[in-house]
Amino acid sequence: MNQPKLHVLLLAALASLVLAPAALAQRETHNLNLDWRLHVGDPVRADARDFDDSAWKLVTLPRAWNEDDAFSKDIKDHSTGVAWYRKHFTLTAAQLDNTKIFIEFEGVRQAAEVYVNGKHVGRSENGIMAFGFDITGQLGAGENIIAVRTDNAWDYREKETNQRYQWADKNFNANYGGITKNVRLHITKKLYQTLPLYSNLKTTGVYIYAVDFDIKNRVATIHAESEVRNETGKSQAALYTMEIPALGVKVSAAAPVNIAPGETAVLKTSARAKNIDFWSWGHGALYDVRTTISVAGKPVDTVTTRTGFRKTEYANGMITLNDRVIQMHGYAQRTSNEWPAIGASVPAWLSDFSNGLMVESGGNLVRWMHITPWKQDVESCDRVGLIQAMPAGDSERDVTGRRWEQRVEVMRDAIIYNRNNPSILFYESGNNGVSEEHMIEMRALRDKYDPHGGRASGSRDMLNSKIAEYGGHMLYINKSARIPFWQMEYSRDEGLRKYWDEYSPPYHKNGDGPLYRNAPAAVYNRNQDSHAIENIVRWYDYWRERPGTGRRVNSGGTNIIFSDSNTHHRGSENYRRSGEVDAMRIPKDGFHAHKVMWDAWVDIERPAAHIIGHWNYAPGTVKNIYVVSSADAVELFLNGKSLGRGAQSHRFLYTFENIAWQPGELRAAGYDTAGKKVTEAVIQTSGEPTALRLKNIGKANYHADGHDLALVEFEVVDADGRRCPTALDLVEFELDGPAEWRGGIGHGRADNYILSKTLPVECGVNRVLIRTTRQPGAITLRARSGSLRSAALTLHSVEYPSHNGLAALPPVPEIALPDRGPTPAGPSYKISRTPVEVVSVRAGSNAADAAKSYDDDETTAWTSANDLAGAWIEYTLERPAKLEEIILRLTGWRQRSYPVSITLDGVEIYRDATPKSLGYVTLEVKPAVAGKVVRIELQGSSEARDAFTMSEVAAKENASTGADKIGGKTLSIGEVEFYEILKN
């Protein structure tokens, strides 16, 4: 299809949806985002119908009134205060005839007072969740006006209770104020399916779910349930029908249900469906499910719900998706998911682009941090196939009283609003552990509003909970044979994309930067190479304890964070740079490291390799080369000549020491255990910079709606069009046509070049954002820099029609999405070692607690007396075994190193100081013969000195290992495991 024809078809499709009908046949849903008036301040009578707002700024929602602050200011300095938004629109008499009209806000930060034609209709204050109002009686034929007073004060207090909201926090919840999410107008007949907006409306909407799965044969039973309200004034016999056109499903309830006037009923039906394409990781298979109410054979109300179907299980320490075990690997991402000079309020295609990159990097899970994500990100994850963990609203600890009630209310609303989105697998009750009583309350919410959705209810920590269905520490490795544990914020280091390594311009010394809290902050000022290596080292801790490695396993973790964020920071910039991509979503080397390590459900499936860094250096440079690879061996070639095989560590890291740079090609070849080449990676030396290049990233067509954004990449390239990886040139831009410059981000100025039309490339590349206006037309961007050949790019925006101030809902984003295909058949792992169980234990002291050292409960431990004579413990195994690995979780694992001797049937098989770790240590032993009795004995005082820097942790108890609670002559074991290795 040629491009002009596509524009015509798009225009026709949008126009057909906004023309007012002669009479309302069924429900209408309108996009109410276009053409609002915005004023920052609190003018008198701004709520009044006759208030003159003609001088106010014309904007399209969603729009943060303080969007200019995004990445130009520290989070704690984000602008706050009151801002008003006003919308004019027209309704016809037909639209008001015997109808109900509702307004839906996907969310406002922080509080909103909503007025319709001068009358106050309600408020929302939690700053997170969607809300709505029945405004039927407030509207008239002709012009109507909605006015919204927003207040994003950090210390905003709930009107009725004077209680602040815990999650209005200057550490993590970037404060983009105003109407920052979409607004919809719903018009229905008076017998209608309700909206999933519990606050204010007290309604739950439609619920679609599947049960009785047969994954192999692609079959499941699909259920539909709709809450239906009758406001017609007389009894109605309503017949309920479910249709799934793509599956050939159409089924009605056995008989109509009589609903009395003023009553609400839940109507249900179900059908066995075949040939289902199940939703999966990296496979956003979705279906439109239509639910219809008919009276006397005539359809009265139809709702279309886009959803997907998948099977889940959470047991034996593992997570199963569509009958296949999956280890979690992904990102703990700030829910703001923000962009420079925009904040959170981006068009849906850009959400898909960003979230799709998480999948491209190998991520299968995003753990949104602290607050529920907005509906646009939730739906985006459905499309890209990215599993979600959905929180309610919290800070760093459990709370009580009204603050807990606030959290429960948000979770209730979030479950109801998002329960049809297949990508959500986890409901998170808190960013820290909650009490068992609170966990019971949260599970009860899930059981009431989403009993069949296949989602686990849990929280961070919950290591010995009998109620939580999943858990896991922030970063310390947990293992379980019961509920799955995955780590929720690991690898907390930071690094700027601008810095390759110490040998590349601008020659930043790894770790250089200001102190953080009066302490050295080297780990928060890393170069790209150092940061990528840290990601490799940290992930190995989880991969080593993956499913298949024993009865007790680890279910993975989420790296904090995916994209650089305008939130709490520890390095030299005024924002957090922990991302695997920068704020403009340009990948760092950590992105590529994850792409190699995470390209599997559990065990390695598709070997890959990536050379960390670039190959443009000054003559005489000698440096280490690092390759991340899932191959079994890696050989390095320079201009075709072998430089030997790399030293392997942490399974995925291969190091080649002291490589002398020469221009040309550097190639890494990966081999399997048989010596067969299974993968390779290549980088080349680029020539001298000669030109600029502009590239449109994302989609081909942009809507002239005042909200759409174009993402344009600019590079410095050589004569052959290869990016020059060490270029740092300043580039000047000119923009012509119906568009607004929003720019990008750079470094070296206090404002990070936000909104500047002069921006530097960093490592040869950068990006800018351009926003459309309400006028369609050609948009031309020109770039120039010194003697480099200039570049130009022309984009096109097409009309986004509206009628009487109402518009069609935005179409599904038109960009290519990652697709890993359906869930693979067969197991995702092989059993790699056999656990040898303990049948009895005795100890030199505190013997009554000895069994706590192997009880699958990491909150308990056996701890000897502070006396070397009693610092031993002896285990009798279920059978004689030739042990090869002993796994220990030792109290104070991060700080303490224990000098121990281990014997098997009296023969010493290990003598050394245990390494420090982030949870478990693996001791390799090689006994000559099998044995049955293992004795572990402390040989001297344990050393207590921290091996890891974690000064950023807000609540110090989150990082405690118990090291300060035991004496130096004490042996303390939380968990012990004994293994024989299975040979391939």
pLDDT at 53 over 60: yes
pLDDT grade, residue 571 (50/70/90)?
A: confident
Selection from 723, 780, 733 nearest residue 753 by Cα: 733
- CATH 2.60.120.260 boundaries in the chain: 28-186, 833-981
pLDDT grade, residue 265 (50/70/90)?
A: very high
pLDDT at 675 over 50: yes
Report d(CA 588, CA 762) in Å as an integer. Answer: 11
pLDDT at 444 over 90: yes
pLDDT at 953 over 80: no
- CATH 3.20.20.80 boundaries in the chain: 312-606
* Interval 148-175: pLDDT, tens: 999 999 999 999 999 999 999 999 999 9
Give the strands of the sheet with 36-40, arranged side by side: 57-59, 36-40, 82-91, 142-151, 111-116, 119-124
Which residues are within 8 A (CB) of 764 and not within 5 positions of it... i.e. 6 or more apart? 715, 716, 717, 723, 724, 725, 726, 727
Alpha helices for 450-551 (secondary structure H): 528-543
Kindly state the average pLDDT of the residues 951-968: 67
Torsion of CA 633, 637, 642, 647, to 10 degrees: -40
Tokens of 71: 């990445």
pLDDT at 950 over 70: no
Tokens of 568: 């709490």
Class of domain 691-800 (CATH, top level)? mainly beta
**Cis preceding linkage at 561, omega within 30:** yes
HSE-CB of 636 using CA atoms within 13 angstroms = 26
Selection from 283, 288, 250, 179 nearest residue 812 by Cα: 288
Tell me the CATH number for domain 833-981: 2.60.120.260
Fold of 28-186: Jelly Rolls (2.60.120)
% of residues, the chain, pLDDT over 90: 91
HSE-CB of 536 using CA atoms within 13 angstroms = 28
pLDDT grade, residue 965 (50/70/90)?
A: confident
Q: What is the pLDDT of residue 984?
A: 65
pLDDT at 713 over 80: yes
Selection from 235, 264, 237, 274 nearest residue 253 by Cα: 237
Report d(CA 759, CA 771) in Å as an integer. Answer: 17
pLDDT at 576 over 50: yes
DSSP of 400-436: -HHHHHHHHHHHHHHHHHHTT-TTEEEEE--SS---H
Kindly state the average pLDDT of the residues 850-867: 97
* Interval 403-432: pLDDT, tens: 999 999 999 999 999 999 999 999 999 999
pLDDT at 583 over 50: yes
Kindly state the average pLDDT of the residues 944-973: 69
Report d(CA 279, CA 823) in Å as an integer. Answer: 8
**Cis preceding linkage at 43, omega within 30:** no
* Interval 341-375: pLDDT, tens: 999 999 999 999 999 999 999 999 999 999 999 99
Q: Report the length, in residues, of the chain.
A: 984
β-pairing verdict for 487-490 and 456-458: unpaired
DSSP state of 147: E
Contact 932, 447 (CB under 8 A): no
Report d(CA 184, CA 178) in Å as an integer. Answer: 16
Q: What is the pLDDT of residue 15?
A: 47
* Interval 461-487: pLDDT, tens: 999 999 999 999 998 999 999 999 999
More confident residue, 576 or 20: 576
Report d(CA 411, CA 413) in Å as an integer. Answer: 5
Torsion of CA 391, 594, 613, 588, to 10 degrees: -20
Backbone angles phi, psi at 427, to 5 degrees: -105, 115
Lowest mean pLDDT segment, chosen from 142-146, 382-386, 508-512, 947-951: 947-951
pLDDT at 969 over 90: yes
Report d(CA 88, CA 718) in Å as an integer. Answer: 53
Q: What is the pLDDT of residue 878?
A: 98
Contact 395, 460 (CB under 8 A): no
Tokens of 315: 């047991």
| pTM (2 d.p.) | 0.96
Contact 774, 705 (CB under 8 A): yes
Tell me the CATH number for domain 312-606: 3.20.20.80
Contact 692, 788 (CB under 8 A): yes
pLDDT grade, residue 493 (50/70/90)?
A: very high
% of residues, the chain, pLDDT over 70: 96
Kindly state the average pLDDT of the residues 284-308: 98
Q: What is the pLDDT of residue 884?
A: 96
pLDDT at 254 over 70: yes
Q: Burial, 182: exposed, middle or buried (Cβ in 10 Å; 0-12, 13-18, 19+)?
A: buried
Contact 688, 722 (CB under 8 A): no
pLDDT at 628 over 60: yes
pLDDT at 814 over 90: no
